[in-house]
Structures are given as structure tokens and as C-alpha cells.
């Protein structure tokens, strides 16, 4: 079952645009420079442009999929599988406009990738909008913090996913 992620298109575009702007500045400076510095700055600008483009493809195509006993976070570029641990998911309050998890890819309240909970535990974050809370899912070896467009839909899907395969089979037969 696919769960829609909360997205703030304007902030997401600003978040991605900031990285593209840095690449553009580097390319312009490289073109205006002379000698060895020109090649170095152009190469760095090209690397940042590729990074920003790949990040944009990843962020704009992210999806959250719930399967029996697992959660998948996937995009056109990456796919991660998280095996669910027993226990309920929890709501975690966060400052809406800040990077609450100190992730490497986080500002404007948008965060992606690995970060840390306030308690110091590692967490993978999928937060594409500066919502005041995220749902923290307890997975094998790591926590997963997600900002869904509907918390109720995510929690319902997680409850169903935690059912064992035999319980699912029994439910289908009845």
C-alpha cells in the first residue's frame, strides 16, 4: 500500500533550487576565470550540478510503501527496505521550520537521510514538508521518521503490516 508523503512544493523547490544556484554560481565563476583555476572551478561546479540534479530526482520521486512486516522508501534512484519491529509507531513533535534531526540534508524544515533523534539514536528521515510532527516507526536496526500527508492512513497501514503472514492468510480465507 502506498502512503502519500506530505510535500511542500514551494519549500521543496527552494531547498533544491538553493543547491542548483550554488552550482550555477560555480560554473559562472569558472567560465570567467583563467588557467588551472578555471578547470578546477568548472569541474567542481559540474559535480555540484550533478549532485543537485540527482538529489532533485530522488526527492521529487520519493514514495513510501507499506508491505507485510516491512516499509519501503523508494525513489527513481534508491530503494531502502525496513523490517518492522514489534511495537507501535509514535508521533514525535518537531519544530516546523527547522532541521530537527540534524541530518546532512536538512533546512527549511525539509530533511532527508540519516540523522539523530534528540536521545542520540540514529534515525532515517523522510520529511518533505515542515510539519509540526513526524511518525517514528520502529524498525530492525534503526528508526524511520516519516512525515505523511495522513498520519491516520500511515498508522492504519502499519497496523496491518505488523500482522504476521499467517494472520493475513487467515483473514483472506474468512
Q: What is the pLDDT of residues 6-46, one digit of tens each?
A: 999 888 888 888 888 988 898 899 899 888 898 998 998 89
Number of domains in the chain: 2
The answer to whether residue 75 is domain-embedded is no
Residue with cell 540527482: 54
Task: Give residue 152's domain range.
Answer: 85-173
Residue pair 148/55 in contact (Cβ under 8 Å)? The answer is no
The answer to whether residue 51 is domain-embedded is yes
6 CA to centre of own chain? 11
pLDDT digits (tens, 9 = 90+) for 130-160: 899 999 999 999 999 999 999 999 999 999 9
Average pLDDT score, the chain: 87
pTM of the entire predicted model: 0.81
Shared domain for 96 and 163, answered yes or no, is yes
Shared domain for 94 and 164, answered yes or no, is yes
The answer to whether residue 49 is domain-embedded is yes
The answer to whether residue 74 is domain-embedded is no
The answer to whether residue 72 is domain-embedded is no
User: How far is the C-alpha of 88 from the C-alpha of 28, rounded, in Å?
Assistant: 51
Amino acid at each position: 500500500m502506498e502512503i502519500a508523503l506530505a510535500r511542500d512544493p514551494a519549500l521543496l523547490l527552494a531547498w533544491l533550487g538553493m543547491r542548483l544556484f550554488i552550482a550555477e554560481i560555480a560554473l559562472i565563476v569558472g567560465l570567467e576565470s583563467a588557467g588551472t583555476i578555471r578547470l578546477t572551478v568548472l569541474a567542481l561546479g559540474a559535480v555540484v550540478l550533478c549532485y543537485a540534479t540527482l538529489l532533485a530526482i530522488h526527492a521529487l520521486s520519493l514514495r513510501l510503501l507499506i508491505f507485510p512486516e516491512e516499509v519501503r522508501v523508494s525513489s527513481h534512484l534508491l530503494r531502502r527496505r525496513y523490517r518492522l519491529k514489534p511495537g507501535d509507531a509514535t508521533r514525535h513533535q518537531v519544530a516546523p521550520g527547522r532541521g530537527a534531526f540534524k541530518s546532512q540534508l536538512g533546512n527549511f524544515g525539509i530533511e532527508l537521510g540519516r540523522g539523530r533523534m534528540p536521545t542520540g539514536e540514529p534515525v532515517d528521515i523522510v520529511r518533505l514538508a515542515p510539519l509540526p510532527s513526524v511518525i517514528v516507526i520502529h524498525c530492525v536496526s534503526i528508526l524511520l521518521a516519516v512525515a505523511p500527508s495522513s498520519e491516520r492512513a500511515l498508522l492504519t497501514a502499519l497496523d496491518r503490516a505488523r500482522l504476521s503472514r499467517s494472520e493475513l492468510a487467515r483473514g483472506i480465507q474468512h
